[in-house]
Structure 1
Amino acid sequence: MRSTFTSRLAGLALCAACAAPALAQVGLQRESWTLAHTDGPADKVGGIVWYPTAAKSETQHFGPFTLKAALGAPPRPGRHPLVLISHGNGGTDLGHAWLAETLATAGHVVVAIRHPGSNYQDMSAKGRPVYFTERPRHLSRVLDQLLKSERWAPLIDDRRIAAIGTSAGGHTVLALAGAKPQPSRAALHCSVQGRGLAEDPTMCLQGGFTKSQPAPVPDGQGEPVDRRDPRIRAVVADAPLVMGLAPESLGGIRVPLLVQYGARDDNLVPRFHAEALCAALPKATCFRDERAGHFAIFQTGTGRLGPPGLDPAEDPDGFDRAAWQTAAGRRITAFLKEALR
């Protein structure tokens, strides 16, 4: 998984502090968007915008999440790279606040949305094909509104836009980069004809499928759906869900891609997901951590948030999530610096 791009990235990561500009403070603003549909009611999408500011960041508490930001502070003038963040199944726009803060201090505007139908308050898309096709559309439609916003558009360099996603969010951003959602593939994986129920059971369970209640065998493969957004110039896929993407479409990803995953991921078994993606895209920058599980990128310090095996606060024995995130923050920042230059 090496290339000239990867070599330059390694150099940047090693010299992240060399002649670096002073880090910004972090501003934070809650936002909401109404995403209209032609064939149904509009989606109400909530989210958070982090951005560089001169105001002093202070400790903030939002439920179990502790952040460092200046609420509603005036942004630092100028046009900044934009990063969109897509959470995983049952997640939240606060789940990767540490990463948003890291990127904002490096000069990015960062927008994390709460996906309707697959967040901790609303799982109405669970097990439905719309789960795979609508998630990337949410991000594209929010991006439309950001680039028209009187408040945010003047702060965004529309030539430097990236997307980061974890788990189902990884599927989401890969679709924006050119891979095509194919919901029937995920259904087949979790049917009696697939391998998922025996070898990738937690992925199937997230869709509501078990050995006693398998997914229906799909009637045909179904046409892959194009959700590419050419405004997205770079993508980071963390522990990505890949079984819902047409395999032949993975080669359609032409933007710089960083894939990171843990060898001890029991939620999305790497050989079906991240490793299959890296094998299909040998020029991608792929980072494998032998100690990490599925939730390494999720915010630290929240306390328990779910049952064993599905708790995003849970790590494999001996894994240091805080240390991993420090290294991952440097890695992702260096990747975006190179990819969006």
Structure 2
Amino acid sequence: MKLNYVVVLLSHLLVAGLSPSFVHAKQQSDYPGYDRFDVRAAHRSMPLAASVWYPADTFIYRAPVGGNVIWKGTDAYIGAAIAPGRHPLILLSHGSGGNMDGLGWLSSQLALRGAIVVALNHPGTTSGDSSPRRTPFVGERAEDISATLDQILSNPAFAPYIDPRNIAAIGFSLGGTTVLSLSGVQFDQALYAQYCKRLGDAAQDCDFLRKGGVDVDHLPNDFAASKSDDRIKRIVAIEPGMGFAATQASLSNVSNAILFVGLGDEDRWAATDFGPSGSNLVARIKNASSAIFAPANHLTFLAECVPGAVELLKEEGSDPICSDPPGTDRGQIHQRIVTAIAEFLNLPGS
């Protein structure tokens, strides 16, 4: 029976593209636990893919998550038991063209500091399924998060380990826009159109929409939808997009504590600048604070790249997603961001 079990497990890992590393089943703290589940959302025609990272207790094997020819993977104990107790819950929203496991470097480190981190793929704006036409549907993205929260809190495998009074949301880029929406921020189509006309192609988000044939004068009503979720108490908005379209009335009513995270000084993207030279969101929300990390730029937040990735991307004519400003240590910037977020969220291991 034991031999059959190992053969079946190896077959499963090879099909999944994972390289197993067998370890003794005893409590460890060097890697987080990792699992996946589907989210059924009424506003979506198909289930959403979600992943969960958490403090691990006992486990069977370790494998890399999210790695490929460009990105370094993040090791985790796949399907491990969850460490006893009630843990803070963090919901994670990726940026345009990103995916739930691409930010595994962040999820894993927050899990090692005592949080359960639930990430998901947003249809229409995820890897391999990222369309300019679907990008302005900010309300749908916020609903994805709320639906995911509904299901993780009712999931018998995870709910007993969650502290329902300690729920936060983190989002990067378009994900930052999404989590701001969950705090009560509303976005206005006319304000966004004005911003795009004023900055033109210098605004990275407007340029992306233009290349997809999106008419910014006729954005969907969903762009301006109100999608606040009172269960979420703290927000971390990392380089959030569309800040120029936030209405002052909604910003004045935000009660959540919000941490804005920015990357770079002179290398700041116009689309995600929340400071005085940009949308100034951090000064327009009463419970907001900020942390800036440099040298860096918007893309520094993405996962670390494998050796040779920069050259490969150049050969293919792809975006410079692995290139940082001179003097940038992407891994070090990541660690500083993790520390700032963990302290802001008062995680047990911070």
**Could you say which residue in structure 2 is the equivalent of 1:231?**
231
Distance in 1 between residues matched to 2:80 and 2:51, nearest whole Å: 13
Tell me the equivalent position of 2:342: 333
Which of 70, 84, 93 does residue 86 from structure 1 map onto? 93
Q: Which amino acid aligns with 2:140?
A: E
What SS does structure 2 have at the residue aligned with 1:162? strand
Q: How far 1:122 sits from its partner (Å)?
A: 1.2
- Asked if 1 retains the 8 angstrom alpha-carbon contact of 2:40 and 2:47, the reply is yes
- Paired with 1:156 and 1:209, the residues of 2 have a C-alpha distance of 43
More helix by percentage = 2
Does residue 278 of the first structure (1) align with residue 282 of the second (2)?
Answer: yes
The answer to whether the 8 A contact 2:97-2:125 is kept is yes
**Residue 304 (structure 2) pairs with residue 295 (structure 1):** no
Find the counterpart in structure 2 of residue 260 from structure 1: 261
Asked which structure has the greater RCO (Cα within 8 Å, sep 6+), the reply is: 1
Q: Give 5+ residue unaligned stretches, structure 1.
A: 1-21
Structure 2 residue matching 1:127: 3-state secondary structure: coil
Residue 118 of structure 1 and its aligned partner are, at CA, apart by: 0.5
What TM-score, normalized to structure 1? 0.80
Question: Does structure 1 conserve the Cα–Cα contact (< 8 Å) formed by 2:171 and 2:178?
Answer: yes
TM-score (norm 2): 0.78
Q: Residue 68 of structure 1 is aligned with which of 75, 89, 96?
A: 75
Change over 3 Å in CA distance of 1:237–1:274 after alignment to 2 = farther
Change beyond 3 A, Cα 1:155–1:189: same
Q: 1:154 to 1:293 in 2, by over 3 A?
A: same
**Aligned positions of 1:1-341 closer than 5 A:** 23=29, 25-37=31-43, 42-55=45-58, 58-64=62-68, 65-124=72-131, 126-128=132-134, 131-190=137-196, 194-200=197-203, 202-209=204-211, 215-218=215-218, 224-241=224-241, 242-262=243-263, 263=265, 264-266=267-269, 268-270=271-273, 276-281=280-285, 283-302=287-306, 303=309, 310-337=319-346
Q: Are 2:52 and 2:117, in contact at CA under 8 Å, matched by a contact in 1?
A: yes
Moved more, 258-267 or 130-139: 258-267
* Equivalent residue number for residue 16 of structure 1: none
Aligned length: 309
| Structure 1 residues 43 and 59: CA distance shift in structure 2, 3 A | closer
Query: Secondary structure at 1:254's aligned position in 2?
Result: coil
Measured after TM superposition, the shift of residue 238 of structure 1 is 0.5
SS of aligned partner of 2:170? strand
Rounded to whole Å, the distance in 1 between the matches of 2:220 and 2:229 is 27
- Residue 26 (structure 1) shift: 0.8
User: Would the aligned equivalents of 1:162 and 1:235 in 2 still touch at CA under 8 Å?
Assistant: yes
Cα distance in 2 for partners of 1:67, 1:222 equals 35
Change (3 A) 1:184 1:114: farther
> 2: distance between equivalents of 1:223 and 1:265?
24
Q: Aligned-pair RMSD on alpha carbons?
A: 3.1
In the alignment, is the contact (CA less than 8 A) between 2:252 and 2:286 conserved in 1? no
- SS at 1:28 equivalent: strand
Percent identity, aligned pairs only? 30
Q: Distance in 2 between the 1:83 and 1:220 partners?
A: 29
Q: Hey, what's the Cα distance between the residues in 2 that align with 1:222 and 1:112?
A: 22
How far apart, in 1, do the equivalents of 2:252 and 2:37 lie? 35
